[in-house]
């Protein structure tokens, strides 16, 4: 981004973050679903699920973190849709503001808001007994993967917010994303699944991302999973960015 675009993005980011901080219920709502799932799976189903050695909370936390992100990006689509319908986009475009700055402000707001939600969920997991011997570099790698995944889903949210006809439609795209971890290695080993379901679980993006984060937490070898996870995140990001920017150009043309 040019200096002009960077400055405009910073100003608009401040505006978007004020909206988030003035309605903290959005962050609270975002973390309620994953925390409730974590409580239910650990204290209700955890004893019946065999994942090998180690506490079940350690096994399932990576999947919960991805569900947290999928829940959070729905609000990005909603905020973008609200701005479109309120006419604020037209007002911004009538001013000497770099046009990409409007979208990037929403994207960066999503990254910050989701990072806060992830910290809260990890904090609750620690209270529930989650423990990791991962060092600073492993935690940094986990943070990087989660931010890349957030960025990829955020651009999907931007596309949904730009093309939705209703506010409910803008957030509906997140439901399949929230459900996807249940058809992966997030909660149970894929080896326990029937043939077709197992094939899908082992070849969809969530499994490689979950396996990578779990390996980093447990200091196990990440193997080829990290390359697959990064390829999925990068591919989704590029495709979503291309389609979202094209939709944005059609909106403002």
Question: What's the pLDDT tens digit per position in 104-142?
Answer: 888 898 898 899 999 999 999 999 999 998 899 999 999
Does the pLDDT value for residue 185 go beyond 70? yes
The string over 160-170, giving b where at least 16 C-beta atoms fall within 10 Å of a residue's C-beta and e elsewhere, is bbbbbeeeeeb
Residue 3 confidence (pLDDT): 57
Q: Which of 89-98, 158-167, 197-206 has the highest mean pLDDT?
A: 197-206
Does the pLDDT value for residue 29 go beyond 90? no
Residue 106 confidence (pLDDT): 85
Mean pLDDT value across the chain: 86
Residue 10 confidence (pLDDT): 76
Q: How far is CA 17 from its chain centroid?
A: 17
203-252 pLDDT, tens digit per residue, is: 999 999 999 999 999 999 988 999 999 999 999 999 999 999 998 888 77
Count of beta carbons in the 10 Å neighbourhood of residue 176: 9
For residues 89 and 241, give the distance between their C-alpha atoms in angstroms, rounded to a whole number.
Answer: 19
**What's the pLDDT band for 2 if we cut at 50, 70, 90?**
low
Measured between alpha carbons, how far is residue 145 from residues 62, 150, 203, 207 in Å?
11, 8, 18, 13
137-168 pLDDT, tens digit per residue, is: 999 999 999 999 999 999 999 999 888 888 77
Does the pLDDT value for residue 1 go beyond 60? no
């Amino acid at each position: 981004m040019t200096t002009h675009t960077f400055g405009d993005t910073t100003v608009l980011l401040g505006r978007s973050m004020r909206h988030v901080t003035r309605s903290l219920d959005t962050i609270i709502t975002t973390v309620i679903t994953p925390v409730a799932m974590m409580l239910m799976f650990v204290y209700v189903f955890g004893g019946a699920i065999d994942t090998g050695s180690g506490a079940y909370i350690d096994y399932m936390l990576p999947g919960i973190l991805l569900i947290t992100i999928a829940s959070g990006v729905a609000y990005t689509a909603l905020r973008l849709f609200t701005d479109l319908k309120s006419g604020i986009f037209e007002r911004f475009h009538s001013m000497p503001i770099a046009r990409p700055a409007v979208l990037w402000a929403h994207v960066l707001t999503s990254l910050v808001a989701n990072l806060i939600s992830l910290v809260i969920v990890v904090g609750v997991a620690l209270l529930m007994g989650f423990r990791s011997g991962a060092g600073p570099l492993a935690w940094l790698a986990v943070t990087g993967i989660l931010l890349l995944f957030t960025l990829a889903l955020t651009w999907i949210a931007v596309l949904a917010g730009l093309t939705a006809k209703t506010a409910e439609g803008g957030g509906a795209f997140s439901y399949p994303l929230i459900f996807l971890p249940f058809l992966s290695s997030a909660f149970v080993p894929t080896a326990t699944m029937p043939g077709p379901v197992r094939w899908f679980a082992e070849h969809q993006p969530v499994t490689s991302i979950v396996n990578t984060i779990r390996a980093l937490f447990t200091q196990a070898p990440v193997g080829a999973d990290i390359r697959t996870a990064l390829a999925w995140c990068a591919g989704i990001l590029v495709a979503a960015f291309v389609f979202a920017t094209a939709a944005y150009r059609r909106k403002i043309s």
